Amino acid sequence: MKLTNVRFTFSKRILYSFAKVIAINNLTRPETMGEPEHVLICVAWPYANGPLHLGHVAGCYLPPDIQLRFERALGNRVLLVSGSDEHGTPITVTAEQQGVSPQEIVDKFHSINKQALLDLGCAWEPNVDPRGIEYGGALFNRTSDPRHKQLVQENFVALLNAGMFEQKTMQQYYELKSEGGGRFLPDRYIEGTCPSCGFEAARGDQCDECGTTYETSELTNPRSKMNPDNDIEIRDTVHFFFRLDLFQKSLELHAEDNWPVWKNNVRSMTKNWLDMGLRPRAVTRDLDWGIELPLEGDEWSGKCVYVWFEAVQGYYTCARIWSTEYADGTHPDGENAWERWWKNPENGSQPRHLYFLGKDNIPFHTVIWPSLIMALNNTDNEISKDDDLRPGPGDLHLEDNVPAMEYLMLAGGQFSKSRKHAVWLPSFLERFDPDTLRYYLSINMPESHDTDFNWPDFVEKINNELIGTYGNFVHRVMTLAERLDEGKQNNPLQAYDDISKQGELIAKINQFHNDITTSLQRHRYKEALRSAMNIAQLGNQMLQEATPWKFLKIPTDADDEWYAGQQQSLGKLAFAWRISRCLSIVTQPFLPFSAQRLWSNLGESGNVSDSPWTDALDWESEMTWDGQSPTPLFTKLDLDEIISQETQLADDSTSHDNNDPTHGVKGGKKKENEKMTDAPEGTTYLKFDTFMEVEMRTGTITNVTDHPNADKLYVVSINDGTDEGRTVCAGLKPYYNIEDLINSSIVFVANLEPRKLRGVMSEGMLLAADDGEGNVRLITVSGEISNGSQVR
Ligand SMILES: [Zn+2]
């Protein structure tokens, strides 16, 4: 809907501010009351070119599952959408490296990844909410789905006809095949020498060595990565560009609306993009693996829809496909059921849209995708840069919150220093209870800064917190109840249950429950889980003080005083039973498997995930009993055993070929094309004379300043033994503080041809060691030696 009327625009802004105020006020209420909300949970689409690792899980896939389980318990109607991103160069690169078709790659990893997510307990199945179709459901789809393709092509045509695209001629590298013909090379298929640091295997648009980004045309000595011997040349190619610039103002207003609820990282990255000014962005490219352009004419053959443009629409197409597949004939709105989650109704209420993704993806979801949505809302209107295009009633809704995570890193070199090492989700789940991973990643979630996965910490937190605090508490309660010398038809604690005496504890637990609720509404998962653990901790303290184990058997000399003590002590044990039930409900979003085991051990029937959130505070429910001996919820972990298994796995995978898609991936970050070129055909020996041509000398760092035009570079002044000294640009900024470099005795290459790096002349190169796992250390000189000494 286009808004040209000033008064209407104003009133709509008021309406939106009002809606946001309600949303914020809700945060302080213990529960969402009244009408259930329609909540659309969108999860970033994983590339189907490799298995998921723990970094992905912590950043993208666990948080939305916790949120979904919580929202469902509140009674909200949740639709969960995502799937495999199966197009684009990450897939074709992997396929070419392995010598198989892209289709084989995506088929393989779509099923591996979906199964791993299900094994982790993520609620991608069943597709329809167990409470009924009106409550929504979930679909983990694929971008190769023909219905996705059709909807994307329809949108492409609609946007093209509405004047939302412009055509531009670009220059692109083209590879000439020796047998004739050729192909355009996307950035990932180009390699060359970094214009900033001189690294020779720099990729098309960014240098892995110094981190500088540049245009592909700035690379020196560019070549085809896959076929370095083929000639390449620059050719003109025509592409469509989406008019992102038309939405600058609307996006600024939209960001302003959401400022109070967005996280700092989301605000700052969005602001950076908006401050730079939005420019048209290519929506087509020269590639044959993707959705073909819905256009006639030879000039468009060999081009496809750019993967960013189509994959991001997956959030929308997935909801529509879910609707056609499951709601047609069962939902009151039939195949239009998706509109309940996607369109602002005429009555002024709104669905709530939550997007879960890693920090590298933020601008796509706060700038690019909302612009596309606003464009789709306005295909029937003439629009200009001055319009306020924020959606009104009947329009597709924009994102409300984007609780993007920072990265989970993997402790580098812990098991094998010589190689990249990731922890893959499928292999993790073969060996461990999924709830142990869910616990560790939740309590260690990279919400506001990068966090680190390492095995000793994992074992420590599982054994001491998950088991020590929570598992042991509930197990102790059930074991003590079983030992009570009474009949086992009913819960023996019923006779001692008197909640009127537990007012103080109930007040504390109510507060913890309220804290968990508030934290989850604010997407603070770590904090929420800690509050849940606080309830278990409170239970432990209570049992420790009440010493119920002293009152299980009646002594021969029991007197009135003893019986009064027993009544009181076992009253606490009875209350501990009720706390265990409370814990089963509040841990369910985080730890669904163990919560269900506890629920059944307590003799409760059905699924704990069907329990309303407020039932955790029902202190008067019937005390159930299953009559079985309790089994511990978790098994303690043995660090030595894990380390030896990990070492074994690490050794096994060192023998893998470099083309393994899992190679070179670690922590939460992919280093996609590391080692991609050196298909090892034996070592190339360097002639001794050639080596001797390199002149290395010692020096002392006398001064360091930030490079004015490059984020990763320092400008380093070196006393090289000469009066004038020399200046070198070095990519050390991510690894060293300035004060730690000053006065270091270092080694530098003295006879490298001086070059200007982003405007500053660099006369040489510092030597540093890089383990490939994020650790970079300068080569220093031990002991005294004069500056300018030759290194041999
Ligand atoms: Zn570089």
Contacts of 19 (CB under 8 A, 6+ apart): 348, 350
- Residue 290, SS3 per DSSP: coil
Alpha helix locations (H) across 444-559? 455-461, 472-483, 503-521, 525-546
Average confidence (pLDDT) over 391-420? 74
Whether the pLDDT of residue 9 is over 80: the answer is no
pLDDT at 605: 96
- pLDDT category at 724 given cuts 50, 70, 90 is confident
pLDDT in tens, 620-679: 999 999 888 899 999 999 999 998 888 777 666 554 443 343 333 333 333 333 333 333
DSSP letter assigned to residue 289: S
Task: Write the Ramachandran bin of 289: left for phi over 0, alpha for psi from -120 to 50, otherwise beta.
Answer: beta
CA 198 – ligand 1 centroid, Å = 6
Average confidence (pLDDT) over 515-540? 98
Whether the pLDDT of residue 72 is over 70: the answer is yes
- Residue 408, SS3 per DSSP: strand
Contacts of 146 (CB under 8 A, 6+ apart): none
Instruction: Give Cα separations from 774 to 732, 744, 747 (angstroms).
Output: 12, 21, 21
CA 48 – ligand 1 centroid, Å = 29
Beta-sheet strands, E only, within 231-276: 231-242
**Number of CB atoms found within 10 A of residue 606's CB:** 10
pLDDT at 769: 87
Strands 745-749 and 765-766: antiparallel
CA 776 – ligand 1 centroid, Å = 14
CA 190 – ligand 1 centroid, Å = 15
CA 106 – ligand 1 centroid, Å = 32
281-282 sheet: strands from edge to edge: 182-184, 165-176, 231-242, 281-282
Q: Which of 110, 73, 74 is nearest to 91 (CA)?
A: 110
Average confidence (pLDDT) over 68-78? 98
Strands 451-453 and 408-410: parallel
CA 751 – ligand 1 centroid, Å = 19
pLDDT at 671: 32
CA 201 – ligand 1 centroid, Å = 9
- Residue 715, SS3 per DSSP: strand
pLDDT in tens, 481-492: 999 866 668 899
User: Per the structure block, which two tokens stand in for 382?
Assistant: 């003439």
- Residue 84, SS3 per DSSP: strand
- pLDDT category at 1 given cuts 50, 70, 90 is very low
DSSP letter assigned to residue 646: H
Look at 269 and 759; give whichever has higher pLDDT: 269
Q: What is d(CA 445, CA 358) in angstroms, rounded to the nearest whole number?
A: 12
- pLDDT category at 450 given cuts 50, 70, 90 is confident
The listed range with the strongest mean pLDDT (298-307, 640-649, 770-779) is 298-307
Q: What is d(CA 337, CA 56) in angstroms, rounded to the nearest whole number?
A: 31
Q: What is d(CA 255, CA 252) in angstroms, rounded to the nearest whole number?
A: 5
The listed range with the strongest mean pLDDT (119-128, 221-230, 718-727) is 119-128
CA 770 – ligand 1 centroid, Å = 14
Look at 348 and 729; give whichever has higher pLDDT: 729
Look at 129 and 784; give whichever has higher pLDDT: 129
pLDDT at 440: 97
pLDDT at 695: 86
Lowest-confidence segment of 444-458, 550-564, 659-673 by average pLDDT: 659-673
pLDDT at 465: 97
pLDDT at 222: 93
pLDDT at 754: 83
Neighbouring-strand partners of residue 238 = 169
**Angle between helical axes of 434-443 and 525-546 (0-180°, round to 10):** 110
User: Per the structure block, which two tokens stand in for 54?
Assistant: 């723990």
When the pLDDT of each residue in the chain is averaged and rounded to a whole number, the result is 87
CA 367 – ligand 1 centroid, Å = 29
Residue 95 CA, distance from chain mean position? 24
Look at 426 and 775; give whichever has higher pLDDT: 426
pLDDT at 684: 54
CA 709 – ligand 1 centroid, Å = 14
- pLDDT category at 471 given cuts 50, 70, 90 is very high
Q: What is d(CA 293, CA 160) in angstroms, rounded to the nearest whole number?
A: 11
pLDDT in tens, 18-44: 444 344 334 333 344 568 999 999 999
- pLDDT category at 16 given cuts 50, 70, 90 is very low
Look at 739 and 315; give whichever has higher pLDDT: 315
pLDDT at 421: 54
- Residue 648, SS3 per DSSP: helix
pLDDT at 682: 41
Task: Write the Ramachandran bin of 296: left for phi over 0, alpha for psi from -120 to 50, otherwise beta.
Answer: beta
pLDDT at 449: 87
Indicate the burial class of 312 (C-beta count within 10 angstroms; 0-12, 13-18, 19 or more). Answer: buried
Q: What is d(CA 435, CA 539) in angstroms, rounded to the nearest whole number?
A: 21
Neighbouring-strand partners of residue 160 = none
Lowest-confidence segment of 145-159, 213-227, 329-343, 534-548 by average pLDDT: 213-227
CA 41 – ligand 1 centroid, Å = 39
**Number of CB atoms found within 10 A of residue 684's CB:** 6
CA 666 – ligand 1 centroid, Å = 21
Average confidence (pLDDT) over 100-126? 96
Instruction: Give Cα separations from 549 to 374, 480, 687 (angstroms).
Output: 65, 7, 79
Whether the pLDDT of residue 5 is over 60: the answer is no
Q: What is d(CA 76, CA 377) in angstroms, rounded to the nearest whole number?
A: 26
Percentage of the chain modeled with pLDDT above 70: 89
Q: What is d(CA 306, CA 156) in angstroms, rounded to the nearest whole number?
A: 11
Whether the pLDDT of residue 714 is over 70: the answer is yes
pLDDT at 307: 92
Please report the sign of the dihedral spanned by the C-alpha atoms of residue 168, residue 172, residue 177, residue 180. positive
**Diameter over CA atoms, the chain:** 103
CA 427 – ligand 1 centroid, Å = 35
pLDDT in tens, 188-231: 889 999 998 999 989 888 888 887 888 888 889 999 988 899 99
pLDDT at 7: 33
Lowest-confidence segment of 263-272, 304-313, 526-535, 746-755 by average pLDDT: 746-755
Average confidence (pLDDT) over 529-547? 98
Whether the pLDDT of residue 587 is over 70: the answer is yes
CA 733 – ligand 1 centroid, Å = 13
Q: What is d(CA 167, CA 293) in angstroms, rounded to the nearest whole number?
A: 14
Indicate the burial class of 277 (C-beta count within 10 angstroms; 0-12, 13-18, 19 or more). Answer: exposed
